[in-house]
Amino acid sequence: MKILVINSGSSSIKFQLFEMADESVLASGLIERIGEKKGHIKCILHPETGKERIIKRVELIVDHKSGMHRAVDILTDPDSGVISNSSDISAVGHRVVHGGETFHQPTPITDDVLAAIEKNIPLAPLHNPPNLDGILVARDLFPGAAQIAVFDTAFHQSIPPHAYHYALPYELYEKQRIRKYGFHGTSHKYVASECASQMGKLLEDLNLIPIHLGNGCSMTAIKNGRSVDTTLGLTPLEGLVMGTRSGDVDPAVHAYLARNCGMDIDSIDMMLNKESGLKGLCGMNDMRDIHDQIAAGNERARLALEVQTYRNRKYVGAYLAVLGRVDAIVFTAGIGENDGVVRAKTLEGLEPFGIILDPVVNNQRVREPLLLSSTESRIQVWGIPTNEELAIAREAKIVLG
């Protein structure tokens, strides 16, 4: 069974084609700069095998539909393609960012589901519209394939009311659905399941704290396999310090900037999402550059690292309190998988809570699930590579039955 996974953004589409019999990747691709003069297409056929072939093109891609058409042409090329025609694909799994309160699990896409995703646009104005575009294009291009939506928010729908409510006038929840939703759910669920299988336990018997540290960052408290709290909120801005996003700030910052600096709501929103976080503190949002600058004596780079890892540690403490018993902490995503310094600083001083890293193992980059804690650590610490595309393909396969 072949499943295509599509992650459709405002000017880009990422895709991966899986052979689900052995979960191998037949092709992965990125179509970027859709709508610009010079669109970029990169497709890797049979990646990381002896047969790997990379195809790159720069050409005008007017819209998502024409981008996906080119991708299908590459995948079905009689000489080098990986499938004979588009009907070889049994299902298309779509990443959809915001499922609101409507969707608790991966869902086959019907007209009603499309309407519900559209209804959630005010909650994710930048993400849900391009996600919808991707679905419409795929319905057109793969009419015989099942279309399945996998929501970033779905895993967090088990969070109880006392954790998802903000202490705001209740009508804002009733009328506007303003509450914590959480994101990165597919990644948290995937690494939690991988961690359970590494530990030889059932996920429903485990309490875990996965920490996703990439450009976007979030942490989740998982009790008996279910999300009970998470750091991202109504939008993907709350909680941890991210590459360009602030994470938690005093909400009065908005009013202060409007009154004292003449900033309007759009520029404040842009500043908090695009000009803050690590970048706001030191001008760089890539952790590798930050380490280089720290080595060169740049104090602002050091501050950015300290602020991010302190916030991480504060939330680990919060989720230890939320969960009571914790079986494992899991680091994942670009920083979480690669950066032993951030991992060590995040867990620094938590030895009295039973969290002890093995300093030698923790110095390694995580290529496959790796136990990072020492044998005397009561709470295990794992590094587990996330794979959101594979997670979406697996979810789609389960929905297909």
Give yes or no for residue 288 binding ligand ADP (CB under 6 A). yes
Task: Let me know: does 139 contact 94? Beta carbons within 8 Å.
Answer: no
C-alpha distances in Å from residue 86, one per residue of 64, 75, 138, 245, 362 = 17, 8, 10, 39, 44
Residue type, 312: N
Among 75, 113, 196, 287, binds ligand ADP (CB under 6 A): 287
Give yes or no for residue 314 binding ligand ADP (CB under 6 A). no
Please provide the size of the chain in residues: 401
Give the DSSP per-residue string, 131-160: HHHHHHHHHHH-TTSEEEEEETTGGGGG--
Task: Let me know: does 374 contact 354? Beta carbons within 8 Å.
Answer: no
Among 106, 216, 225, 280, binds ligand ADP (CB under 6 A): 216
C-alpha distances in Å from residue 186, one per residue of 48, 110, 155, 212, 372 = 24, 21, 7, 11, 23
Give yes or no for residue 277 binding ligand ADP (CB under 6 A). no
Give yes or no for residue 327 binding ligand ADP (CB under 6 A). no
Among 215, 244, 267, 374, binds ligand ADP (CB under 6 A): 215
Give yes or no for residue 9 binding ligand ADP (CB under 6 A). no
| Selected range binding ligand ADP among 93-101, 251-259, 285-293, 393-401, rule: CB under 6 A | 285-293
Least separation in angstroms between residue 187's CB and ligand ADP is 9
Of residues 99 and 216, the one with the C-beta less far from ligand ADP = 216
Task: Let me know: does 95 contact 131? Beta carbons within 8 Å.
Answer: yes
Q: Whole-angstrom Cα distance, residue 253 to residue 244?
A: 17
Give yes or no for residue 182 binding ligand ADP (CB under 6 A). no
- The CA-based diameter of the chain, rounded to the nearest angstrom, is 64
Least separation in angstroms between residue 225's CB and ligand ADP is 24
Give yes or no for residue 269 binding ligand ADP (CB under 6 A). no
Known catalytic residues are 152
| Selected range binding ligand ADP among 9-17, 247-255, 281-289, 370-378, rule: CB under 6 A | 281-289
Give yes or no for residue 130 binding ligand ADP (CB under 6 A). no
| Selected range binding ligand ADP among 93-101, 319-327, 329-337, 349-357, rule: CB under 6 A | 329-337
Give yes or no for residue 214 binding ligand ADP (CB under 6 A). yes
- 322 Cα distance to chain centroid: 23
The DSSP element (H or E) to which 304 belongs, if any, is: helix 299-323
Q: Whole-angstrom Cα distance, residue 157 to residue 284?
A: 34
| Selected range binding ligand ADP among 22-30, 120-128, 173-181, 210-218, rule: CB under 6 A | 210-218
| Selected range binding ligand ADP among 47-55, 95-103, 143-151, 330-338, rule: CB under 6 A | 330-338
Least separation in angstroms between residue 333's CB and ligand ADP is 4
Give 67's contacts (C-beta < 8 A, 6+ positions apart). Answer: 13, 31, 34, 39, 41, 61
Give yes or no for residue 106 binding ligand ADP (CB under 6 A). no
Q: What is the 8-class DSSP label of residue 357? A: B
Give yes or no for residue 244 binding ligand ADP (CB under 6 A). no
Partners of 40 in beta bridges: 32, 58
Interface size with ligand ADP, residues (CB under 6 A): 12
Least separation in angstroms between residue 338's CB and ligand ADP is 3
Half-sphere exposure of 282 (CA within 13 A, CB side): 27
Task: Let me know: does 208 contact 379? Beta carbons within 8 Å.
Answer: no
Residue type, 182: G
Of residues 17 and 240, the one with the C-beta less far from ligand ADP = 240
Q: Whole-angstrom Cα distance, residue 24 to residue 7?
A: 18
Least separation in angstroms between residue 289's CB and ligand ADP is 8
Give yes or no for residue 335 binding ligand ADP (CB under 6 A). yes
Give yes or no for residue 383 binding ligand ADP (CB under 6 A). no
Give yes or no for residue 389 binding ligand ADP (CB under 6 A). no
Give yes or no for residue 152 binding ligand ADP (CB under 6 A). no
Least separation in angstroms between residue 113's CB and ligand ADP is 26
Give yes or no for residue 338 binding ligand ADP (CB under 6 A). yes
Task: Let me know: does 132 contact 118? Beta carbons within 8 Å.
Answer: yes
Give yes or no for residue 185 binding ligand ADP (CB under 6 A). no
Give yes or no for residue 243 binding ligand ADP (CB under 6 A). yes
The residues that touch ligand ADP, with contacts defined as CB under 6 A, are 214-216, 243, 286-288, 333-335, 338-339
